[in-house]
Amino acid sequence: MVSFSPSLLAADFSNLREEISKVAGADYLHLDIMDGQFVPNITFGPGLIRAIRPYSSLKFDTHLMIEEPEKYIEEFAVAGSNLITFHAEATYHLDRLVHQIKDAGCQVGVALNPATPLSELEYILTDIDLVLIMSVNPGFGGQKFIPQILDKISRLREMIDSRGLDVMIEVDGGVNRDNVQEIVEAGTDIIVAGSAIFRADDPAGALEEMRARVAFTG
């Protein structure tokens, strides 16, 4: 069963409460945290997560695109994150950070930029809940899906299954109604979609349409 995590980045920030209610039929809410250092864009922080937490019963899927993520884990956990994902490229101490997130009471994900090899995960895969495969260069919504990433997803699926592990694969960037099926067929468990959902005339309908397209896949 495929899960969906609409990315709030594409929502109307002047009307967040209503925007969030439009995606109540999703599984997660994807929260993109950008610091203007790790990526060339700035979004929001734990304060906003805390403010919207009472208005959604979805699991909060926090995607940290920040330098020195280890400094902010507890704040993002207390703010209401259920899952915290950091970038392998943003820390020297991947193993330590994985355990810091678990100790903070959250599920843990490791994100890889498009050009980062899967070998980064070799000695950590048994300890994590999720791998986030970036299918665009992080920093902005509305970019085009990088086609080589389909192969990366299949290889990761094989790596997880051949080891008998229970690690989810999340794919983030450029996913829309036209490519969602092949992305799921490659082995994805959680689909992130920003523009394809929040920029649609009917976000709830767009989400249901994507769900329908993958209903018999995966």
Binding site for ligand DX5 (CB under 6 A): 7, 9-10, 30, 32, 63, 136, 138-139, 141-143, 172-175, 192-196
To the nearest whole angstrom, how small is the minimum distance from the Cβ of residue 177 to ligand DX5? 12
To the nearest whole angstrom, how small is the minimum distance from the Cβ of residue 193 to ligand DX5? 5
To the nearest whole angstrom, how small is the minimum distance from the Cβ of residue 162 to ligand DX5? 28
Q: Please provide residue 190's backbone torsions phi and psi, each rounded to the nearest 5 degrees.
A: -130, 125
Taking the least distance from each CB to ligand DX5, the nearer of 94 and 136 is 136
Q: Which residue is nearest to ligand DX5 (CB)?
A: 194
Instruction: Tell me the C-alpha distance between 171 and 138, whole Å.
Output: 12
145-153 CB contacts, 8 Å cutoff, 24+ apart: 145/173, 145/174, 145/175, 145/176, 145/179, 145/183, 146/114, 146/173, 146/174, 148/114, 149/114, 150/182, 150/183, 150/186, 151/186, 152/118, 153/183, 153/186, 153/187, 153/188
Taking the least distance from each CB to ligand DX5, the nearer of 80 and 174 is 174
In the numeric block, which tokens belong to residue 39? Answer: 């990526």
> Where in 6-35 is the site for Zn ion (CB under 5 A)?
32
Judge whether 27 counts as a catalytic residue.
Answer: no
Of 35, 61, 129, 172, catalytic: 172
Judge whether 201 counts as a catalytic residue.
Answer: no
Taking the least distance from each CB to ligand DX5, the nearer of 94 and 193 is 193
To the nearest whole angstrom, how small is the minimum distance from the Cβ of residue 161 to ligand DX5? 25
Name residue 64's beta-bridge partners.
33, 86
Nearest residue to 136 via CA among 188, 88, 192: 192
Of 32, 61, 129, 189, catalytic: 32
Q: Which residue is nearest to Zn ion (CB)?
A: 63
Q: Which amino acid is at 81?
A: S
Q: Which amino acid is at 140?
A: F
**189 part of the interface to Zn ion, by CB under 5 A:** no
Burial level of 168, CB count in 10 A (0-12/13-18/19+)?
middle
User: Binding partner of residue 142 among Zn ion, ligand DX5, none, CB under 5 to 8 Å per kind?
Assistant: ligand DX5
Catalytic residues: 32, 172
Residues of this chain that bind Zn ion (CB under 5 A): 32, 63, 172
